[in-house]
Structure 1
């Protein structure tokens, strides 16, 4: 029984009929390099670089209505004539990309390939020069509808697809620890064992936490006792040092205080003496002296 031609074709990694620059002519290991080479547009390259954050998975099925030219089995370098005759095919594909949810690395690669092929085709049409056209360029390129406006629409869809890739990357990062922990645990034969291991683990963790708390409490008590001992040993010398250091100053202050008290005492005694009449006698004597001076004859009287 002979093997069907379809299966034989699927076993061929690189079909001999694939044109240069066709997705089917690119080995799987060079897929990312091929996507980068499709366009130098920053939006598109940013989208392609974001695919690195996705987890590698097996190839998924193509969504319903996905065109053959947007797959890795496409054997031609240029896109079919239908895309160049009218923009209906282009708009239909862009709408399909926006409605398709990126769920894996393979689906993201598929979207990147389709959009990249369109960006490259638009550039070819925009830069086409009849006098420089080579024989391998299809004739419908000269009358294609893929102009700058179509390129803008494609790049808008690239931004939308980029948002889907970012969403998927964040979801993978948040889900990864749970997946790693559940690789063996989610199997039916391991559910009961995991439950028992989980209960034992909780008990072990509880005992370990109690031991740690006990050790921490003991360390805390030791620190308190050590602090009290240090305070008891250091209190007296410190007090003695302080008293000795301020001894001379205290003596000076005490002597000044004594002198002030003596001055105040002398002033008080003087005030008491003045109040008792001493000051009255003194003022009376002064009056007598002044009156005696007034009674002396003047110089004029002496001349007479």
Structure 2
């Protein structure tokens, strides 16, 4: 056997190569044909590398035959797929294809089609959260059909929505307030500060609500209404140029007809002396509550 210095067809190292594929032509004595060897075909540096290369060729031929069978007579449980690919994976030739139309099918339908393959092959569905895959075997060749779960990419703004804190810093945590791409993004410190302010405001609202409920009960008894209309009035006739007190509007017909703003015995309680500086403001405030439907 003639040995040449050339690149091994398996390990691709340049050294003495004196072994040829088992499929190479041989003479009557079992030696590689001289004319074939003189043609400098692909040679190998050892029998092990020669056998490994032959096994790869045989595996690729088997994969090609399996692919032809899939294209000619696909199993009933195999759904439509996009282009089949034949590739080498850890020394073995495998077939793979993506599920056709996966980007327009809903998740329930996609997973159902993949599960049919798993049921036909008696192999479990592989799901890492992103890639969903079902494997099966065709004439000893591994094959798989897969699809990618779509996912949304969210763009994080450079700074917090409430203060100039940079959100890209490694020590800054942040949260999105609400759903959707337009929801504001704030740092956790701002989120906690807003939450504390909300708790404080909610507690204050509870105190106001309790005060309003007590006032509504008193007004119901004195005026007959939870939300009486308020007016500015005088507690001392001729002393003040502007109303110095506030009181519910009197419902006595004679008092209404007289249009006298002074508080008399017919006027309902409470009649509160607040001074001219506050009377107008408090009347406007109480009547605003009344218009909003909130008990005073």
Shared fold (TM-score, shorter chain, > 0.5): no
Higher percent of residues as helix:
1
Higher percent of residues as strand:
2
User: Rg bigger for which structure?
Assistant: 1
